[in-house]
Structure 1
Amino acid sequence: MYCKKVLVVSILLAAMPIAQALAQTTEASILPASTSLPATPLPGGSSDCGHGFLSRLADAYREDAQPGDSSAAAPARRAMESPFDSQPFPSSEWQLGGVDSPIGVPDTNSRYPLETALGCTRLGQWMQRNRIETYGWINPSVNLSTSSFTNYPLSYQTRPNRVEFDQFMFRIERLPDTVQTDHIDWGFHVDNLWGYDYHYTTMKGVFSNQLLNHPSTSQPLAGKVYGDDPMIGYLDMYIPWIAQGMQITAGRYLSLPDIEAQFAPENYLLTHSILYTVDAYTNVGILTTTKLTNQWTVQLGVHGGDDSAPWNRSSRASLQACVRWVSASNNDMLYPCVESYNGDKQTYNNLQEFVTTWGHRFSRNVHTLTEVYYIYVRDQPGAPEGVPGYPLGEAPDFPVGNNPAYGVVNYFNIELDANNMISIRNEFYDDVQGQRTGFATRYSSHTIGLTHWVSQDLEIRPEFRYERAYDFPAYNDGKKNYQVTALLDAILHY
């Protein structure tokens, strides 16, 4: 365990100066002092098949630390212009869940070092010919907290005052070409996550024994400290002749709404809102995403319930439906969703969830996103940990009927330059009966964070957060009514 801590600390402390040094020193000795570093690989670099795989991998990181080629032509689109810059923002598109990108948007994934290094191999060349991409990231973090036992309901950095290995992610995918309209295309997406964050993403019936069959009183969350979750696995079929294009997705996919995402690089901030922490994560089902016009997209689907595999007895067949509207000016977006509805009783996480997100762009450099939701379960068994008027652990059982929660969260996002952005998040959450967080109380949380891109392959994210519970001391396992945290993480793409 000590060695793991030393390794993660070393990554966090060394990543920034190493990448900066690479950017400053790459091949500098062979260039005149007045010459800027080239954007394309130098001879003998990652494209030199005379070098071994590890040498090409190191060369790819060094080349990515150089300035990019801003003159490269943008790929063709069959959609409105992207409203934001990515980087520094985590996405350049308005929100649309369940698909890798909106219909009509080209594949703009960066080519990360693993793919570059594979380019000289038969496997890598076969993958390139067939538009199959593979990449991922390593994501450690460190936090300081006023709590001593648990940071919950802050996520995912639940264990206070420690270094954590949050995510080791491996992805392989083929994105359907939804820009063209002359033929049916297909795709697939497979993600595997290992790390502490599996505590939140695990679906019952999919390796869930790691979490559910290992109770612990010495840790803030039950389950093994580190675990594995094959989070995503689905097939896509794109049919261009239905409206302006329909994409059919079948398998395990991310829940549709929410500003935030399960994967570290896809978030504006390091930590997550309380609203996001306690709602749905993934579904297994069939989803259709249909582009009616550039402004209107409709999604309809059926799945086996939130965070429950269809083959598990906790699963309940559920409907989902969303509509996304974008204004003609591209300055506003509205995305109302019924994420899950089946009208049945509570099982593992049988949520009835209704969500709306509104986005507004003040300029290409400044935008805001606001999400509101109402969720409930029916006939929740058991009792919450804390209710006003009762000592901790002595609350009465949940009342029969609907057990609701309400939340609203706002993100205000500012691009400082091509490598830096600031995000400010303010949130109010009302867990009316304590069904979602374990405490029947109102919460607020206030967070500010910076994302700094050291290079295309490395992000550093410092963050400061203050939160409060108003009706019951919900923090540090029911001992405090507030919490202050300072955090830092690194995302190293490969």
Structure 2
Amino acid sequence: MYFKNILVTSIMLAVAPVSQVLAQSTNVSTMPASNLPASPVATGSSDCSRGFVNRLVDAYKEDAQPADPNAPTPARRGMDAPFDSPPFPNSEWQLGGVDEPIGVPDTNTTYPLEKALGCTRLGQWMQRNRIETYGWINPSANFSTSSFTNYPLSYATRPNRVEFDQFLFRIERLPDTVQTDHIDWGFHFDNLWGYDYHYTTMKGVFSNQLLNNSSVNQPLPGKVYGDDPMIWYVDLYIPWIAQGMQITAGRYLSLPDIEAQFSPENYLLTHSILYTVDAYTNVGIITTTKLNNQWTIQLGVHGGDDSAPWNSSSRPSLQACVRWVSASNNDMLYPCIESYNGDKQTYNNLQEFVTTWGHRFSKNVHMLTEAYYIYVKDQPGAPEGVPGYPLGEAPPFPTGINPAYGIVNYFNVELNANNMISFRNEFYDDVQGQRTGFATRYSSHTLGLTHWVTPDLEIRPEIRYERAYDFPAYDAGKKYYQATALVDAILHY
């Protein structure tokens, strides 16, 4: 009952400030130039005679108005952005470990919370120091052919229900990497509350709520809803090393994946199986160095995948990536050693080798393909299901290398300024069941739409079909296939 009250309250808070906004939402790309306002709409959010709540509501109203087509484009040092964002979740080629590639300006929108804070001393101090704060609320609903669990579909693991996926709060300062005349600094902190903490938790960082709580009649262990301070790092930008080096120290997202834990940064609502079972975050130090407009290298060391350095499961691991972008800006190649230490399995001591290739057919159409080989050594215990054995009666994992292979492709199309669709197809081979619990091959096929109602509100419907070929891995070992229909909303604040 407590959760239901929280969910209802959260949705009410999400809907209240945008109820008037939705009625005013306009697609500027379909409007004749003569219909555009001659001057900007009055900015009630900057009227300091009004209260904070009124300024917040006004900020949502303002964001729903057509954007100024003559707004200046921020200066950048490098190639033009290859994509439009929105409707795509990002306008840049993939590069992990940094908020923006070196030479790319801060392209964050000034969201309603920042606008409403603008009349306060705190807000003015943050503006003077280029400190930003914002976040989002992300509920979802799903309908599934499974009854107990959707796993390995993520993050909507509980079938046939409404879920509160993410309430995320972010505060950050991005270093200015466009300029080359002085050292700059930054920091980033994200706190996530919701069901999705099941997948983001790092051992040694509030992990007791996941690992030391009963999970009776639940498809995943731990408390149903939890909190994870999942990103915290500091940045130092040095412009005089090559064409700029950024040093990042703290807890950051694993580098090479197309997908991310954060809902707004993904092409689709659900995640690939490939992403569900690989690394999520690292604590360490990573350097990102821009050699020129086409070549960037990354070198680092971290405490192992999803393990804090102060936890006994941590193992010092090497990290190295190279990103190449073609002179035409139409192709990107990003091979990575995400983590390597050669040691035995602990909590999630992955040895992971990943490559992503991106190709742009046009400004409106592109695809991304990721393939990886991961393994652990001497995995203890036994999987749930292995071909030839009844469920729960599989033999222990063999000693030595316990591998898995995966490949996923995203095909993404911009329909107009407010809408995009994405097709995702993948194949995954969990050879010994070490990653998913079932020794089987999988395929999944997903089609989703992202509709931007306003710059502050996204709606994402999705349909998905997946199959296990060697063992009935779905619905806790009962079915060979699963079909789902899902929808979520992302309200930025």
With the length of structure 1 as denominator, give the TM-score of the two structures. 0.96
Partner of 2:42: 42
Partner of 1:455: 454
Aligned equivalents of 1:74, 1:316: Cα separation in 2: 44
Aligned equivalents of 2:117, 2:103: Cα separation in 1: 29
Unaligned runs of 5+ in 1: 25-33
Shift of 1:14: 8.4
Aligned equivalents of 1:16, 1:133: Cα separation in 2: 22
Q: Out of 25, 36, 47, which is 1:23 matched to?
A: 25
Question: Which letter maps to 1:416?
Answer: L
Shift of 1:17: 6.4
Aligned equivalents of 1:58, 1:416: Cα separation in 2: 30
2:20 touches 2:61 (CA, 8 Å); kept in 1?
no
Aligned equivalents of 1:97, 1:361: Cα separation in 2: 19
SS of the residue 1:51 aligns to = coil
SS of the residue 2:25 aligns to = helix
1:12 touches 1:489 (CA, 8 Å); kept in 2?
no
Shift of 1:19: 3.4
SS of the residue 1:123 aligns to = helix
Question: Which letter maps to 1:107?
Answer: D
Cα gap change, 1:122 to 1:4, in 2 (>3 Å)? closer
Partner of 2:199: 200
SS of the residue 1:275 aligns to = helix
Shift of 1:7: 4.6
Shift of 1:18: 5.0
1:16 touches 1:454 (CA, 8 Å); kept in 2?
no
* Cα deviation 1:197-255 (Å, max 9, x = unaligned): 00000000000000000121310000000000000000000000000000000000000
Shift of 1:20: 2.0
Aligned equivalents of 1:13, 1:392: Cα separation in 2: 45
Partner of 2:185: 186
* Cα deviation 1:16-40 (Å, max 9, x = unaligned): 865321437xxxxxxxxx9655773
Cα gap change, 1:481 to 1:39, in 2 (>3 Å)? farther
User: Matches of residues 147-158 of structure 1 in structure 2 within 5 Å?
Assistant: 147-158=146-157
2:355 touches 2:372 (CA, 8 Å); kept in 1?
yes
Partner of 2:299: 300
2:17 touches 2:60 (CA, 8 Å); kept in 1?
no
1:338 touches 1:354 (CA, 8 Å); kept in 2?
yes
Identity of aligned residues (%): 82
Aligned equivalents of 2:444, 2:257: Cα separation in 1: 17
Aligned equivalents of 2:71, 2:455: Cα separation in 1: 16
Aligned equivalents of 1:63, 1:381: Cα separation in 2: 56
Partner of 2:269: 270
Question: Which letter maps to 2:365?
Answer: V
Partner of 2:327: 328
Shift of 1:52: 0.7
Aligned equivalents of 1:81, 1:3: Cα separation in 2: 46
Shift of 1:70: 1.7
Partner of 2:121: 122
Cα gap change, 1:20 to 1:303, in 2 (>3 Å)? same
SS of the residue 1:478 aligns to = coil
Partner of 2:29: none
* Cα deviation 1:325-361 (Å, max 9, x = unaligned): 0000000000000000000000000000000000000
Aligned equivalents of 2:290, 2:16: Cα separation in 1: 45
Shift of 1:296: 0.2
1:167 touches 1:195 (CA, 8 Å); kept in 2?
yes
SS of the residue 1:149 aligns to = coil
Shift of 1:96: 0.2
1:12 touches 1:141 (CA, 8 Å); kept in 2?
no
1:8 touches 1:163 (CA, 8 Å); kept in 2?
no
Aligned equivalents of 2:339, 2:85: Cα separation in 1: 30
Question: Which letter maps to 2:133?
Answer: T
SS of the residue 1:46 aligns to = helix
Aligned equivalents of 1:11, 1:480: Cα separation in 2: 39
1:187 touches 1:236 (CA, 8 Å); kept in 2?
yes
- Alignment length, in residue pairs? 484
Shift of 1:294: 0.3
Partner of 1:60: 59
Partner of 2:244: 245
Partner of 1:214: 213
1:422 touches 1:451 (CA, 8 Å); kept in 2?
yes
Partner of 1:433: 432
Cα gap change, 1:473 to 1:39, in 2 (>3 Å)? farther
Question: Which letter maps to 2:336?
Answer: C
Aligned equivalents of 1:102, 1:476: Cα separation in 2: 41
Q: Does residue 100 of structure 2 align to residue 76 of structure 1?
A: no
With the length of structure 2 as denominator, give the TM-score of the two structures. 0.96
SS of the residue 2:420 aligns to = strand
2:87 touches 2:420 (CA, 8 Å); kept in 1?
yes
Partner of 1:31: none
Aligned equivalents of 2:458, 2:57: Cα separation in 1: 18
Question: Which letter maps to 1:377?
Answer: V
2:17 touches 2:57 (CA, 8 Å); kept in 1?
no
Partner of 2:31: none
Q: Out of 3, 6, 11, which is 2:5 matched to?
A: 3
Aligned equivalents of 1:128, 1:322: Cα separation in 2: 34
The Cα RMSD (Å) is 1.6
Aligned equivalents of 1:248, 1:5: Cα separation in 2: 39
Aligned equivalents of 1:350, 1:409: Cα separation in 2: 23
Aligned equivalents of 1:468, 1:438: Cα separation in 2: 15
* Cα deviation 1:429-454 (Å, max 9, x = unaligned): 00000000000000000000000000
Partner of 1:349: 348
SS of the residue 2:231 aligns to = strand
Partner of 2:30: none
Aligned equivalents of 1:11, 1:223: Cα separation in 2: 28
Question: Which letter maps to 1:19?
Answer: V
Aligned equivalents of 1:232, 1:9: Cα separation in 2: 25
Aligned equivalents of 1:229, 1:464: Cα separation in 2: 29
Question: Which letter maps to 1:227?
Answer: G
* Cα deviation 1:95-126 (Å, max 9, x = unaligned): 00000010000001000000000111111011
Question: Which letter maps to 1:202?
Answer: T
Shift of 1:51: 0.4
